[in-house]
């Protein structure tokens, strides 16, 4: 069997790569490795019903019971796994991917993504065929499906309470919202309205084949137009399963995850709530983020790319805030995974408390110009020990000093070396990136 788990659960084209047979065996694995009571939610993809049926059948065939949430954001599954005292949670979603894709990812009883070693054990279990027929339970030992009718309501109230508990509301906000024909359609607008905001929504309907298509956090142009048309104070865009969020300000300028994390970190530090005066990000965060945090007296711990790594470091250090430029932001005081709605609420709360605007809050960090060049190579692992490439990197770093940064890394999925340079000007970033990429091509090029 091909490798099942990627960076965020099992994912592939539904009914081709991610089949009902795999979903059935993953359902059995949920019971075998997590326990008998499993929370299950999904996004709006057409294949969600099919894969949910197969997954649920697998859970029940192994003697497990399904607490069925229906269409709901991914972070709500993590939350409800804890609140319903279940043994684990499963969400059927391919996040920001196109509609033909789907995915299955797991949460443990505490609402955290599974460690890699456990995913490998599950992968081996599926590859071996699941539970043998002679070990399956029978009679009254098979499981059932129990709908959780108030699942979305529980999640909405959780997000609303995260703001109300701070003694503020959003009655001064006019918000443009793009829910990407995805799971955020059932929750985000309602939560923001309960907090007093005026909300104008686009892409709130869904048919299963339009999720993420030229909308949401992967395509901000419709949101920019809506902000302009409605004269909104801010625009908010989710991806298909609403575990991430990006913004645009009243002038249509992008506000990425680095900017959101910076503004929220400064707000938390001012209130004495930023544990260790430290935030977590990845090696791909913009250099401007690191500088802004240093000026605010905040340490930045950087991890490998991926919210899994961010979360692991947060838990190890006891930190409360971490995130990625892509819009995955984790507030551990409120949820155990990236949560687009909670992030939107906390970002707007920080701005409201400071009597500011989205544009001013985002200006807490200056984004350094960035140049990224992908070089196709014959052996991407050879970059680590290559003397010529190392010298080119050192030369660029010495010339730029603290006003620039170089990151050269192998792609996790393709035969590519990614050369990224940030500098004080776009011209300088391009010059150094091109120089290093030329050396990579000469030394390792395909």
In whole angstroms, what is the distance from residue 202 CA to residue 100 CA? Answer: 22
Q: Cβ(74)–Cβ(183) under 8 Å?
A: yes
In whole angstroms, what is the distance from residue 392 CA to residue 101 CA? Answer: 40
Residue of 95, 162, 188, 217 marked catalytic: 95
DSSP string, 32-53: HHT-SEEEEEE-S-TTHHHHHH
In whole angstroms, what is the distance from residue 269 CA to residue 275 CA? Answer: 8
Helix (H) / strand (E) containing 57: helix 48-61
Q: Cβ(96)–Cβ(217) under 8 Å?
A: yes
φ, ψ dihedrals at 310, nearest 5°: -60, -50
Record the tokens describing residue 104, joined without a space: 């299955």
In whole angstroms, what is the distance from residue 334 CA to residue 267 CA? Answer: 16
Does the CA dihedral 26-212-71-314 come out positive or negative? Answer: positive
Per DSSP, 328 falls in state -
In whole angstroms, what is the distance from residue 355 CA to residue 338 CA? Answer: 26
95 is known as an active-site residue: yes
Instruction: Say how many C-beta atoms besides its own lie within 10 A of residue 124's C-beta.
Output: 12
In whole angstroms, what is the distance from residue 114 CA to residue 30 CA? Answer: 11
**Which residue from 181, 28, 157, 31 is spatially nearest to 93, judged by alpha carbons?**
181
The CA-atom distances, in angstroms, between 374 and each of 79, 380, 381, 388, 427 are: 38, 11, 15, 18, 18
**Catalytic machinery residues:** 95
């Amino acid at each position: 069997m091909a490798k099942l788990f990627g960076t965020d659960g099992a994912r592939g084209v539904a009914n081709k790569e991610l089949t009902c047979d795999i979903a059935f065996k993953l359902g059995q694995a949920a019971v075998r490795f997590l326990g008998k009571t499993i929370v299950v939610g999904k996004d709006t993809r057409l294949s969600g019903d099919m894969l949910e049926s197969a997954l649920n059948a697998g859970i029940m065939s192994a003697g497990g019971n399904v607490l069925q949430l229906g269409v709901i954001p991914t972070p709500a599954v993590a939350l409800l796994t804890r609140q319903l005292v279940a043994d684990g949670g499963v969400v059927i979603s391919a996040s920001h991917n196109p509609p033909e894709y789907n995915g299955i990812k797991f949460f443990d009883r505490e609402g955290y993504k599974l460690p890699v070693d456990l995913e490998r054990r599950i992968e081996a279990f599926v590859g071996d065929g699941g539970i043998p027929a002679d070990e399956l339970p029978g009679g009254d030992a098979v499981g059932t499906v129990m709908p959780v009718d108030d699942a979305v309501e529980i999640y909405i109230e959780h997000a609303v309470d995260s703001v109300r508990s701070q003694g503020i509301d959003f009655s001064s906000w006019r918000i443009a919202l793009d829910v990407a024909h995805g799971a955020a359609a059932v929750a985000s607008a309602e939560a923001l309205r309960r907090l007093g905001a005026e909300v104008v929504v686009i892409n709130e309907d869904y048919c299963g084949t339009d999720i993420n298509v030229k909308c949401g956090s992967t395509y901000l142009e419709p949101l920019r137009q809506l902000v302009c048309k409605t004269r909104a104070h801010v625009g908010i865009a989710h991806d298909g399963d609403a575990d991430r969020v990006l913004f645009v300000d009243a002038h249509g300028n992008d506000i990425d995850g680095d900017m959101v994390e910076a503004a929220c970190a400064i707000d938390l530090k001012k209130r004495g709530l930023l544990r260790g005066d430290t935030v977590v990000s990845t090696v791909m965060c913009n250099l401007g983020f690191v500088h802004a945090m240093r000026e605010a007296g905040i340490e930045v711990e950087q991890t490998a790319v991926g919210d899994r790594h961010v979360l692991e470091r947060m838990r190890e250090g006891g930190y409360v805030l971490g995130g990625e430029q892509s819009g995955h932001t984790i507030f551990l005081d409120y949820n155990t995974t990236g949560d687009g709605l909670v992030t939107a609420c906390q970002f707007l709360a920080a701005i409201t408390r400071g009597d500011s605007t989205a544009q001013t809050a985002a200006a807490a960090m200056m984004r350094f110009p960035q140049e990224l060049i992908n070089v196709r190579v014959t052996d991407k692992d050879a970059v680590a020990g290559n003397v010529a490439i190392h010298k080119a990197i050192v030369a660029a770093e010495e010339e730029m000093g603290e006003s620039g940064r170089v990151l050269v890394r192998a792609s996790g999925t393709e035969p590519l070396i990614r050369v990224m340079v940030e500098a004080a000007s776009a011209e300088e970033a391009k010059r150094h990136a091109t120089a290093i990429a030329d050396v990579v091509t000469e030394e390792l090029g395909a």
